[in-house]
Amino acid sequence: MTLLITGGTVIGPTGATPADVLVDGETIAAIHAPGTGPSDTETLDAAGKYVIPGGIDAHTHMELPFGGTFASDTFDTGTKAAAFGGTTTIIDFAVQRTGEVVQDGLAAWHAKADGNCHVDYAFHMILGGVDDDSLKAMDQLVNDAGITSFKLFMAYPGVFYSDDGQILRAMQKARDNGAVIMMHAENGIAIDVLIQQALARGETDPIHHGLTRPEALEAEATHRAIMLAEVAQDCPLYIVHLSASRALAEVAAARDAGRNVFAETCPQYLYLTLEDQLGAPGFEGAKWVCSTPLRSKHESHQKDLWQGLRGNDLAIVSTDHCPFCFKDQKELGVGDFSKIPNGIGGVEHRVDLLYQGVVDGKLSLQRWVETIATTPARMFGLYPRKGVIQPGSDADIVVYDPNGRTRISVETHHMNMDHSAYEGYEIAGKVDTVLSRGEVIVSEGAYHGAKGRGRYLPRGLSSYLV
Ligand code: DUC
Ligand code: ZN
Ligand code: ZN
């Protein structure tokens, strides 16, 4: 079946071009000058709208067991919500828990996702224990399983934490096999001291989650990760959920020095703050407990992060989608902020929230598309199948209406959460139509896809590998 998307403006990393896009089956067949495509096909009118590659959220945690509970979106609910928001690929984190065989952790993630996803999906692998076996497993995952990126944690001692020696060994392995090391860069050993001291002083409210994870300990860990990657012969390093100015400065300095260092930020760090959200009265702030934490509005973090996005020191915007309901889940931390499950849900809103950056003059249209789709595809070995509108690529396409409006609310979102981190936010734009591999799965706010239609995407090596 063919479909001609007519009258729209195609946005890609190289610019905005009025063009008609011909979809044949699951892929893009041709890009035609306006009005010159075949006349015997079904058409989709995109006049006055942007035609962009489907969003790729390179950082989600569906069903993650964490903080004594499970992230509340399943692969079913989470990928459907993603589709509504114009995200047609997610890269979730499979988990090797400490003491577990890496391949068993991966098999468990396939079992959760298989047959349940509404859009295509891939996996990174969290290594909860770096030892001889897991180092060997890294090679096997890169060569046979389509997993070419591994996340390590400098935070969460006793849970996911790796020490510097373990990190160095994993980086050396990645340097050899071409994988990317993704780093949760916070000094978890020092943070745990600050947490114990705060609790001993009776400081139990959610805001103390942020106050015990100061910016300095993100910057320090970011610096250390960059230095360890240098020792590992410039192993490709990708800093996840970067939230703060001084951590960004570390990444920028490394990049200026020509290093193989990349970073992502997330919408929560671009829009939400320590004071206004995490510091909300009573226990309300628990909704915004995530790590790295929201930062102070009295410092220049948000301005610096937007600038970093413009200049490519921040390559990607992902969500770190890790939703927990307020009732019974966030409430596990009443009276002790350290027991609040860490995570914010946002997989449905990333494309819109970043478009608001375009409206606000903080990001160009091209950079919007690059940070939400094209660069994630290139960074994580999905390009050119995903992340671009060009012949031969999967027909994952979003028709975006710059004259529409989106109001974010728990009343209307599709994520399995009993609150919204962005309640009441208004976006001057709207996801109009979403195609996933040529199939219209969302139009006029209605869902036409199906659970199980999403496919696993084995990934290649990063396009940015040098
Ligand atoms: N941070 C979060 O907020 N949630 C899940 C894991 C993480 O690193
Ligand atoms: Zn993390
Ligand atoms: Zn995460």
Does the beta carbon of 321 lie inside 6 Å of ligand 1?
A: no
Does the beta carbon of 291 lie inside 6 Å of ligand 1?
A: yes
What's the pLDDT at 102? 98
Does the beta carbon of 184 lie inside 6 Å of ligand 1?
A: yes
What's the pLDDT at 273? 98
Does the beta carbon of 290 lie inside 6 Å of ligand 1?
A: yes
What is the mean predicted confidence (pLDDT) over 315-337? 98
Ligand 3 centroid from CA 430, angstroms: 26
Q: Which CA distances in Å does 371 have to 15, 54, 319, 392? A: 14, 12, 12, 21
SS3 307: helix
d(CA 407, CA 378): 31
Does the beta carbon of 343 lie inside 6 Å of ligand 1?
A: yes
SS3 295: coil
Sign of the CA dihedral running 138, 162, 253, 243: positive
Which of 241, 321, 329 has the most ligand 1 atoms within 8 A of CB, as the residue to mutate? 241
Among protein residues, the one whose CA lies closest to atom 5 of ligand 1: 343
Does the beta carbon of 135 lie inside 6 Å of ligand 1?
A: no
Ligand 3 centroid from CA 361, angstroms: 28
- Other beta carbons within 10 angstroms of residue 161's beta carbon come to 20
What's the pLDDT at 1? 87
Does the beta carbon of 357 lie inside 6 Å of ligand 1?
A: no
d(CA 209, CA 198): 9
Atom of ligand 1 nearest to the CA of 240: 8
Atom of ligand 1 nearest to the CA of 344: 3
> What is the pTM assigned to this prediction?
0.98
Which of 60, 62, 66, 269 has the most ligand 1 atoms within 8 A of CB, as the residue to mutate? 66
Q: Is 303 exposed, middle or buried (0-12, 13-18, 19+ CB in 10 A)?
A: exposed
Identify the band that residue 365 occupies on the pLDDT scale cut at 50, 70 and 90: very high
What is the mean predicted confidence (pLDDT) over 170-186? 98
Identify the band that residue 84 occupies on the pLDDT scale cut at 50, 70 and 90: very high
d(CA 145, CA 285): 40
Atom of ligand 1 nearest to the CA of 156: 8
Among protein residues, the one whose CA lies closest to atom 4 of ligand 1: 343
Phi, psi angle pair for 196, to nearest 5°: -60, -40
d(CA 120, CA 126): 20
Atom of ligand 1 nearest to the CA of 289: 3
Element at 11 (helix H, strand E): strand 9-12
Ligand nearest to the CA of 318: 3
Ligand 2 centroid from CA 375, angstroms: 20
Q: Which is nearest to 28 in space by CA: 465, 428, 391? A: 391
Does the beta carbon of 221 lie inside 6 Å of ligand 1?
A: no
Which pairing describes strands 50-53 and 55-60: parallel, antiparallel, or unpaired? unpaired
Full 3-state SS string of 104-151: HHHHHHHHHHCCCCCCEEEEEEEECCCCHHHHHHHHHHHHHHCCCEEE
What is the mean predicted confidence (pLDDT) over 174-196? 98
Does the beta carbon of 59 lie inside 6 Å of ligand 1?
A: no
Burial 172-204 (b: 16+ CB within 10 A, else e): bbbbebbbbbbbbbbbbebbbebbeebbeeeeb
d(CA 342, CA 230): 30
Q: Are 377 and 384 in contact (CB under 8 A)?
A: yes
User: What DSSP character marks residue 394?
Assistant: B
pLDDT, averaged across the chain: 98
Which pairing describes strands 42-45 and 316-317: parallel, antiparallel, or unpaired? unpaired
The percentage of the chain sitting over the pLDDT mark of 90, rounded to a whole number, equals 98
d(CA 67, CA 383): 35
- Other beta carbons within 10 angstroms of residue 33's beta carbon come to 10
Q: Which CA distances in Å does 107 have to 101, 104, 125, 141, 161? A: 10, 5, 11, 11, 22
Does the beta carbon of 296 lie inside 6 Å of ligand 1?
A: no
What's the pLDDT at 466? 83
Identify the band that residue 14 occupies on the pLDDT scale cut at 50, 70 and 90: confident
Among protein residues, the one whose CA lies closest to atom 7 of ligand 1: 291
pLDDT at 436 over 90: yes
Among protein residues, the one whose CA lies closest to atom 1 of ligand 1: 291
Q: Which residues pair with 240 in a beta bridge?
A: none
What's the pLDDT at 439? 98
What's the pLDDT at 13? 81
Ligand 1 centroid from CA 404, angstroms: 32
Among protein residues, the one whose CA lies closest to atom 8 of ligand 1: 291
Q: Which is nearest to 372 in space by CA: 22, 17, 85? A: 85
Does the beta carbon of 322 lie inside 6 Å of ligand 1?
A: yes
Ligand 1 centroid from CA 41, angstroms: 46
Cis, peptide link before residue 18, omega less than 30° from 0: no
Atom of ligand 1 nearest to the CA of 343: 3
pLDDT at 98 over 90: no
